[in-house]
Amino acid sequence: MKKSHPLRRVVLAGAATVSGIVLLLSLKPSSDPGSAQAAGAGAAAQEAAQGGAGAAVSGAITGDASQTQYGAVQVRVTVSNGKITKAETVQAPKGGQSDQITADAVPKLNQAALTAQSADIDAVSGATFTSEGYKKSLQSAIDKMKASAGASQGAAGAAPVSGTFDGDAAQTQYGAVQVRITVSNNQITKAETVQAPKGGQSDQITADAVPKLNQAVVTKQSPDIDAVSGATYTSTGYKQSLQSAIDKANASAGAQGSGAQEGSKAPEAPKAPEASKTPEGSGNVQAGGTFTGEAVQTEYGTVQVRITVSGGKITKAETVQAPKGGQSDQITANAVPKLNQAAVAAGSADIDAVSGATYTSGGYKESLQSALDQAGG
């Protein structure tokens, strides 16, 4: 299981909100968010509008960040009555020649998304990697838009949302930022950072900025908070991860309206007693869908694992992030396939470290356990 008037932000409304939560941003796991589905991709906005008994989707929806060879690409769309009215990039490759390529390609891709109303758009010449990443993130945003339309059918009678929701880790120039929010009866009661830049001057900046950002979230009850002076990168990453956490909280509201258990992070989980977190290695995976573990920082880089679960079993394990550069490329290429295979075979995070890849293995197992926690295993 990332964002204000025309760009309407998702807010976890208080108890006085009309009949619970109005689902503007809903998260739905997608088995392949990068593929433009042949049936319906060209009419995604219309499908979203029709998904919920005449209720049309409106709001700002942020797609998942798509990693490319030159950096992450992440797209946000603004939707009004089921139609994409604006497309923009939250993240795009930067530095060196990437700056020029991004400056040329992104406006064209944004315009194409607006015209096509789908992720079925042409790549920009000379920006193949950026274009592919853009399309994947755009498809993810459209998936969420369609999920929101379907979930809105049950929103009127949804029970108030409560629980703890971890946003996706947002990569910044100085390190990853990840936010966790605690929600009680639709109110954000606590915001905290799971990850923040550290080392050297970053320690001082983080120590100053993070408490202010956390307080601002609780005060404003939205991701529409001001950046902390002197901590622009950390503030931006914080807001992206916060938006992702709010997306997941809203998705939980949609799941309740559809009969899922309170606090579930998997809108499509079967109707069964709420799955509790079990000890590492239990192999008791109960939910179905795609679950991305938390990004784990290691001495040589970040490791993040995504698992696909079907029928209570891990059917696929893959790495979203892994150490790279220099000798890390060879170690990653050797270790990751073995770790992925071991995860599927064991059905748990109780797997052996790969020889020569101790740090990567440790990070992999930690992120895998995080994904299993989300799946209820």
Question: For residue range 324-361, what is the model confidence (pLDDT) as tens digits?
Answer: 888 888 899 999 999 999 999 998 888 999 998 889 99
| C-alpha closest to that of 75 among 29, 20, 154, 143 | 143
What does the alpha-carbon distance between residue 311 and residue 347 come to, in Å, rounded to a whole number?
12
What does the alpha-carbon distance between residue 169 and residue 370 come to, in Å, rounded to a whole number?
13
Whole-number pLDDT of residue 54: 40
Q: What is the mean pLDDT of residues 282-287?
A: 48
What does the alpha-carbon distance between residue 107 and residue 40 come to, in Å, rounded to a whole number?
25
Specify the range with the lowest mean pLDDT, choosing from 25-34, 97-106, 307-316. 25-34
Residue pLDDT, tens place only, 307-330: 988 877 899 999 999 998 888 888
Q: pLDDT at residue 26 above 60?
A: no
Q: How far is CA 60 from CA 24, 27, 377, in A?
A: 8, 12, 32
The answer to whether the predicted template modeling score (pTM) of the entire model surpasses 0.85 is no
Q: pLDDT at residue 305 above 50?
A: yes
Q: What is the mean pLDDT of residues 39-54?
A: 39
| C-alpha closest to that of 261 among 161, 180, 354, 171 | 161
Whole-number pLDDT of residue 158: 52
| C-alpha closest to that of 374 among 248, 295, 271, 265 | 265
Q: What is the mean pLDDT of residues 214-235?
A: 88
Q: What's the full length of the chain, in residues?
A: 377
Residue pLDDT, tens place only, 69-81: 888 899 988 888 8
- Looking at residue 55, the DSSP 8-state letter turns out to be B
Task: Give 261's pLDDT tier (boundaries 50, 70, 90).
Answer: very low
Whole-number pLDDT of residue 39: 36
Tokens (6 digits) for 291: 């679950």
Whole-number pLDDT of residue 111: 95
What does the alpha-carbon distance between residue 133 and residue 125 come to, in Å, rounded to a whole number?
14
Task: Give 225's pLDDT tier (boundaries 50, 70, 90).
Answer: confident
Whole-number pLDDT of residue 205: 92
